[in-house]
Amino acid sequence: MYLCSIFIWCIFYFCQTVLAVNDGVHVLALKSYRGSSIPSTSSHVSGASKLISGDKNEANEDDTEVQPLPSNDSGPSSAILESDNNVLWYTTIVIGTDEGKQEFTVDVDTGSSDLFIPGSKCGSTCDGHTRYDPKLSPTSNNTEGNFTLSFADKSSVEGTIYTDSVSLGGLVAKNQSFGVGKVYSEGLKKKNFSPDGLLGLGFESLSHIKAPPLLDTLFNQGQIKKRVFGVRLSLAEADDEQGELTLGGYNEIHMAGEIAYASVTDPKFWQVKLDQVTVGKKVIASKRSFIVDTGSTLINADAVFVKKFYSRIKGAKKDANRLHWTLPCANIPTLVFTIARTKFTIDPSTFSPGRVSEGSDECYGGIVANVEPGNPWIVGGVFLSNVYTIFDVDQKRIGFTTLKDGQTDDQ
């Protein structure tokens, strides 16, 4: 899920091309879906796409919400990831068999574990989305089970659990469990959430439909050799850039240096330790934890850190909604995250989700105070668009490496 809602769409590239298969790794291209960078006044928030699990909720309950700113060799496979102005990244899947195949766009989300799409019985909040009609697919099965998913951005979906064949980048998961939404919240309306549904790539322990995630099904059915996937998030400003989701491995073509692996510290989430955060030579945070969330745009941190960070920037000020900050576009600093003793730079060009208004010299900041003190930060595209990220389910670790056009220095 994402932090900013986009209400003007300009360009949409639709593709499910498998770029390459190398040693069993399937690479799927991700292209850009562009829109306005101005946060809308929609009720959808997207503090983060992280799924709320009974004991965890990083959203500030008392604060105003953040307003919307293939192959047969059993190897890795990649899917096209599309970017909604750096707000969210999604790909295309096919559900069903024979003449009943139906295509859907889905947000690629490491902050949750389940796949859901809107169903034919979903009401007006699903207007504009493609709805799944189980009557069209001969392999569709209604399990009679119900599900409800609630996210940290306060968006939610509820409906019925089905099984059917799900295809992604030429890989097919038979009898894959997924949710078919009967009720979409306001935050999942088309104007706020452009994809049809969501593809969770978290651990099975986080599944609310109590079934193996798509990656696990592909592995269990021999479609991929490893429960590993790599993510390259695209930059909407670069016409020649494409994002990628690689299943069963990772794509070395994007990697500039050694992989820095960090062990996962939570059994449900892609959560790792953050050694420190620096601006210039000044360390402004250390020994933190953060959840790597491809379904979020911004860096969601605690209010104490956020205030400390922006207080160092001349002209930065808190926006009226209390969570966003604005700053002069010319004064965006260079941040460095140190993970597994390796430094990763957040380029100023990726820090802001957009200008306050067209032609303005003021930009929205890429860090918001949307996490309670003591809870892990939720880190999205502001950081992830600067690195290539490898998620390893079996080893319970995340690997980070700089992109070929970036730099990383060992500490």
Residues recognised as catalytic: 109, 293
Q: With 0-12 CB in 10 A as exposed, 13-18 as middle and 19+ as buried, what is 304?
A: exposed
For CA atoms 235, 323, 335, 110, the dihedral sign is: negative
The residues with which 302 forms a beta bridge, in sequence order, are: 371
* Best CA proximity match to 68, nearest among 35, 46, 90, 36: 46
For CA atoms 216, 110, 263, 230, the dihedral sign is: positive
Report the alpha-carbon distance of residue 381 to residue 66 in Å, rounded.
16
Report the alpha-carbon distance of residue 401 to residue 258 in Å, rounded.
6
Beta-carbon count within 10 A of 258 CB: 12
Amino acid at 290: F
Residues 3/296, Cβ–Cβ less than 8 Å = yes
Q: With 0-12 CB in 10 A as exposed, 13-18 as middle and 19+ as buried, what is 239?
A: exposed
Residues 154/177, Cβ–Cβ less than 8 Å = no
For CA atoms 392, 397, 401, 403, the dihedral sign is: positive
For residue 93 the two structure tokens come to 């899947």
How are beta strands 197-200 and 102-109 bridged, if at all?
parallel
The residues with which 77 forms a beta bridge, in sequence order, are: 247
Report the alpha-carbon distance of residue 19 to residue 368 in Å, rounded.
36
